[in-house]
């Protein structure tokens, strides 16, 4: 099929079958940028609420820049991958305070923003400024690899350059926004991982993988990274005199959940045997806080899975009669009510909600 015919065919399909999404109804680069960052590794159903929240709470780049990092992280809470929120905030401040509030209108300028990679830069460039840069997400990789029988493992620089070259010849240079949206939607709605939509596919005759019966073999993916297992013991330390008080810790080290608050944490290389937990917890609390609590309650183990880590968390409620004699400098005092205003991980939020 001639290159121009392919673009016309996929755009015509999109006109009848494309998804209606709020960020497709605008060419405002700020809103498009928000949607692209929020939707990374996120289902549309989940991300939609966050997109609408950010548009409502931070309607302009200037509004996002003026917010504190803690405000932004709180708005992001529950979405995961918090480095995206920190980069979004830093880039907004760069645009507002160093670029005079003007969003970059070239691919190179967009790509220079903190946290913006090739995919996001191409998306903003094509959707907001109609620049002919192909947008390559997982759905596009799958569709194109099957259509042309490409066996190069996806997710590498080599594959990106190869697919970029193929799509650079296919893209409609007058309507790159519609072309890219059509490619992503077709990959998501028709060219499914299972290959279940092949029979009625409008590209079945041209598809190399379908013709050779190798649809489920493509795209080729690299072996997944090994998952690290970690054991977290959170201590919910509380006392009532002179007022309801609990302790929190701000994660500042370069690790998961950087910039978020959590309960006092002790991480171990191996899980502490259940029969030893009460004695172990009492001893650790006495060492850290200068006395034993009047009562402890050990909760069930909660498994929290991240992309390459599995967190096995235990929450131990420790009640003191009054303020303990020692409080480590890394901990801050707050109230059970005030903690709801702090940005926390989904794991901590889950525990607090259950409490």
Q: Exposure of 125 by Cβ count < 10 A (0-12 exposed, 13-18 middle, 19+ buried)?
A: buried
CA–CA gap between residue 314 and residue 23 (Å, rounded): 40
CA–CA gap between residue 171 and residue 148 (Å, rounded): 15
Asked if the bond preceding 242 is cis, omega within 30° of 0, the reply is yes
Please tell me whether residue 234 adopts helix, strand or coil conformation: strand
CA–CA gap between residue 239 and residue 251 (Å, rounded): 23
CA–CA gap between residue 216 and residue 66 (Å, rounded): 48
Indicate which residues carry an active-site annotation.
36
Cα distances (angstroms) measured from residue 336 to each of 222, 314, 333, 349, 353: 45, 19, 10, 12, 11
């Amino acid at each position: 099929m001639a290159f121009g015919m392919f673009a016309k065919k996929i755009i015509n399909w999109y006109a009848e079958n494309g998804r209606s999404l709020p960020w497709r109804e605008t060419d405002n680069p700020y809103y498009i940028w928000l949607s692209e960052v929020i939707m990374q590794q996120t289902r549309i159903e989940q991300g939609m609420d966050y997109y609408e929240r950010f548009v409502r709470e931070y309607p302009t780049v200037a509004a996002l820049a003026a917010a504190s990092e803690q405000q932004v992280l709180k708005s992001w809470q529950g979405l995961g991958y918090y480095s995206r929120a920190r980069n979004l905030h830093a880039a907004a401040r760069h645009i507002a305070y160093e670029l005079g509030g003007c969003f970059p209108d070239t691919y190179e300028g967009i790509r220079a923003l903190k946290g913006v990679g090739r995919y996001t830069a191409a998306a903003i460039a094509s959707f907001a400024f109609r620049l002919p840069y192909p947008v390559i997400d997982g759905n596009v990789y799958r569709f194109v690899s099957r259509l042309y029988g490409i066996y190069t493992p996806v997710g590498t620089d080599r594959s990106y350059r190869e697919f970029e070259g193929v799509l650079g010849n296919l893209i409609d240079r007058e309507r790159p926004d519609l072309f890219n949206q059509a490619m992503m939607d077709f990959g998501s709605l028709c060219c499914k991982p299972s290959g279940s939509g092949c029979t009625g596919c409008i590209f079945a005759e041209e598809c190399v993988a379908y013709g050779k019966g190798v649809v489920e073999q493509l795209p080729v993916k690299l072996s997944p990274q090994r998952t690290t297992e970690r054991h977290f013991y959170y201590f919910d330390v509380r006392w009532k005199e002179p007022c309801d008080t609990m302790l929190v810790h701000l994660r500042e080290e370069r690790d998961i959940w950087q910039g978020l608050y959590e309960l006092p944490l002790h991480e171990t290389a191996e899980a502490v045997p259940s029969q030893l937990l009460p004695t172990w917890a009492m001893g650790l609390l006495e060492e850290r806080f200068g006395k034993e609590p009047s009562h402890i309650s050990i909760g069930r183990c909660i498994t929290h899975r991240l992309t390459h880590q599995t967190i096995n968390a235990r929450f131990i409620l420790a009640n003191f009669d009054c303020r303990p004699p020692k409080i480590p400098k890394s901990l801050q005092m707050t109230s059970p009510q005030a903690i709801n205003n702090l940005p926390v991980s989904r794991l901590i939020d889950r525990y607090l909600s259950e409490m």
